Amino acid sequence: MPTATHLSTVDTSTLPPYVLALKERVSYLPEAQVERVLRAYEIGAQAQEGQERKSGEPYITHPVAVAGILAELGLDAETIIAAILHDTLEDTELSRTELAGEFGEVVAELVDGVTKLDKMRFSSRQEADAESFRKMLLAMARDLRVILIKLSDRLHNMRTLGAKDAPSRRRIARETLEIYAPIAQRLGMNKFKAELQDLGFRALYPDRYRVISERIRAAIGNRREAMGKIEMALSARLAVEHLQVRVVGRIKSPWSIYSKMRNEHKSFAQLMDVYGFRVVVDNAMSCYMALGAVHSLYKPVDRRFKDFIAIPKANGYQSLHTVLLGPFGAPIEVQIRTAEMDSVAERGVAAHWAYKTDSGPANSAQARAREWLSSLADSQANTASSAEFIENVKIDLFPDEVYLFTPRGDILSLPRNATALDFAYAVHTDVGDHAVAARVDKKLLPLRTRLESGQLVEVITAPSAVPNPAWLESVVTGKARTAIRQYLKHLQHEDAVDFGHRMLDRALDALGSSLDAIPPAVLDRFLDAAKFKRLEELLSEIGLGNRMPHMVANQLLASRGKQKGQALSPTLASEKITITGAERGVLSFAACCHPLPGDEIIGYLSSGKGVVVHRVECPNVMELRKSPERCVAIEWARDVQGDYHAELRIEVMNRPGVLATIAAAIAAANSNISNVEYVERDAAAATLLFALEVKSRKHLADVIRRVRRTGVVSGAYRYPL
C-alpha cells in the first residue's frame, strides 16, 4: 500500500458515478480534504476488490453511501474518510498501522471503534452482539463521531435490507428498533430516528406497515383542504404580530401511529384526528410571542403546554409544545422553535458539526450526549457482564422522561417511573448508597416513591445507611442498578472472607492446629498451586461454598509435612460458628423450613451461594447429612437483628370480616404480612397461608397467640411444622 509521504491528485475521470456524487456532496470541505476523501475511496476499493454485497453490487458502494449520508450532515473529513474505510479492518488485509500511516491516528481510532468483534470467540451470538455493542459505546465515549458513522452504516443497511433473507431482515430490524433508533433519539437525531423506525417497522411487520401507510395516505388526501385553511390562519395571525415565521404541516409516521395504537390503546381514527404544525421563528423571544399569538387564535387545551426551551429534554431538544382546539372540532398540535433549535432537533449531535470549535460543543445536544456517554463509561467500568451493561443502556434509552429539581434549583432528567432512589444515585453514588428517605415537595416519602415532572426532591442520608438487595426492585436507571450491584458484590466478598476464615479456623482446630500455625512459606506455596493471588481469595471461595474447609485444612497440614488428617465431619468441631443474620452476602435461609432466630439450625455449603441455613428438624436435613463434608455447625448469636420470613397456616370459620380480623391481630403483634393465599375453602371453613416478617421464634409465638385469641380461628400453627 502507498505511504503517506505525499498526497497525489486523484484522477476523477475514471471515477464511477456514485463516487462523483460523493465528491459533489463533500464540496463544502477544502480542496485538499476532498482529495483525501477520494484517496480513501481508492484505498478502500483496492482493499475490497472482488467483494460483493448480497444485492450483487461491489461492496465499496456501501461505505461510499455511508460517507454520503454523513456528508449530508456536514461532517469533517476524518469522519467521511473513516466511513469509507469502516469495514476494512474487519474484512480486508489492511492493517490498523497502515491506516494510521496513510490517514492519521484519528481516522484509525474511528475505524477501530466501529469495527465489530466477529473474529473473537464468544459462547453465543447474543454475547458477541453485546460485547460488540459495548465496545462501540466505549468508543463513542472517546469520540462521538463513532456513533455517527455507525448510525449512518445502519441507516444504509436498512435502506438496502431487501437483499437479505427473511430471518436476517427480522433480526436486523428488531435490533434497529430496540437499540439504534433509541440511540439516535437519545442523541437528538430525530430525522435518523424516524427513518430507522419506519424502515425497521416495514421489515419486521410488512403487512401492518402497508395497511397503516395506505390509511395515512387516504387520511391526508381527505384533510388536505382543512390543513391548508389552518396553516393560512396561523400564518396570517403570526404576520399581524410582525413575526418572521415559517409554518409547516406535520404528518405522523407509520411507526409513530402503530406505537401509539399499541401502547395507548387508541384507534387509528383517534390518532389521525389531530392536525400537527411546526412554527419556526428567528429567536427564542419570538417563540413566546408566537405562542401568545396562536393562543389568541385558537383556545389552548388545559395542561397540554410544555416548555422544552426553558427545560430542554435530556437529548438537548428545545421547543414549545401546545395543543389548541381547532375550527373543525379536532385538536391542533403546534411546536414552536427557532431555526437553530429546529436544526438541533433534526440532526442532534451532528448539527453544525463543521463549525464546532475545539473549545467546546457547538450545541446543547452535543453537551448532553457527552454527559450521557461519560455516565455510560462509569457504568461499564463497574459491570463485568456485557449483557448486564446492555440491559442498563436499554433502560437509559427510554424516550419518556421526568424532569426534577434539586434544592439548589438544578434540573435532573430521569426515565419515566424513576424513584427517589434513582434520583439519589443521579445526584451522586455516595448520596444513593447512604439514602434513607426523600422530601418530595417538602413532604417526607420513602425511597421507592415514583417521581413526577416538576417535583422538588431532597434526599435524606445517614452515614450508617447502606444498599440492600431489595433496592434493585425499586430502581429503573442503569446507574443506580450498577452502583447497588457493585456494593452488594463487595459486601458478599467481605462476608465470604469473614465466614470462610471462621470455617477454616474451626476445621483446623478440629485437627489440632490453627491458621496461625501454618508457616507463611507453606501457605504461599498452597495459594500458588491453587492459583490464588491472596489468602482472601481462598477464604472467599470457602465462604461461598466452592471449597470445603475440611479439605483445605487437610491439604494445608499435609503441605506442612504432617500426616494427612481424616475427612472432617462438622459435628466433630469443638464449637459452632455463630451467626447474627447480618451476613446476608454469604448466608441464605432455606425456603423449605424458614429458620428463625431461636431455632436450632444447621448450615449446608452450596456451591456459589455460600451457607444455606436450615432448621435441624427440617425434613430435608436427613438428605443433607449424607454429604457431611458440606454440613456446617452453626448457631444463632445472642443478639440478632433484622426481619425474617415465616409462614403461618390458619384454619378459620368462613364468614365475612375474618381476613380483616386476623390481619389486625398480626399487625397488633408488630408483624408485616407479605402475602396471603387460600389453601382450602368451602362454605363453612377455610385454610389460609400467611407469609409474615418476624424478628424471632419468640416473636412468631406472640403472633400465633394473638391470632388464636381473635375467636374466629379454629387452628393456627407455624408452617411447615
Residues catalogued as catalytic: 90-91
Give start and end residues of each alpha helix (H) in 75-144: 77-84, 88-91, 96-103, 105-114, 125-142
51 grid coordinates: 467483494
Report CA 463 to chain centroid distance, whole Å.
28
Integer Cα distance of 592 and 605 in angstroms: 16
Is residue 543 within 8 A of residue 499, CB to CB? The reply is yes
> Beta partners for 445?
438
Task: Enumerate residues 6+ apart whose C-beta is below 8 A from 660.
Answer: none
Taking the CA of residue 569 as centre, how many other CA atoms within 13 Å lie in the half-sphere pointing to its CB? Answer: 7
702 grid coordinates: 406472640
Q: At what angle do helices 77-84 and 31-47 cross, to 10 degrees?
A: 10
102 closest CA partner among 153, 26, 19, 37: 37
Question: DSSP 3-state assignment of 366?
Answer: helix
Q: What number of H helices and E strands is found in the chain?
A: 28, 20
Give start and end residues of each alpha helix (H) in 11-76: 17-25, 31-47, 61-72
Is residue 522 within 8 A of residue 492, CB to CB? The reply is no
672 grid coordinates: 408485616
> Beta partners for 402?
414
Report CA 36 to chain centroid distance, whole Å.
40
DSSP secondary structure letter of residue 419 = B
Is residue 604 within 8 A of residue 614, CB to CB? The reply is yes
Phi, psi of 651, rounded to the nearest 5 degrees: -105, 125
Integer Cα distance of 392 and 481 in angstroms: 8
**Long-range CB pairs of 554-559, under 8 A, 24+ apart, other chains included:** 554/511, 555/526, 556/508, 556/518, 556/522, 556/523, 556/526, 557/508, 557/511, 557/513, 559/522, 559/525, 559/526
Task: Enumerate residues 6+ apart whose C-beta is below 8 A from 593.
Answer: 614, 615, 617, 618, 619, 620, 720
Integer Cα distance of 671 and 481 in angstroms: 29
Integer Cα distance of 83 and 66 in angstroms: 6
149 grid coordinates: 458513522
Any idea which residue has 492459583 for its cell? 531
Burial of 262 (0-12, 13-18, 19+ CB in 10 A): exposed
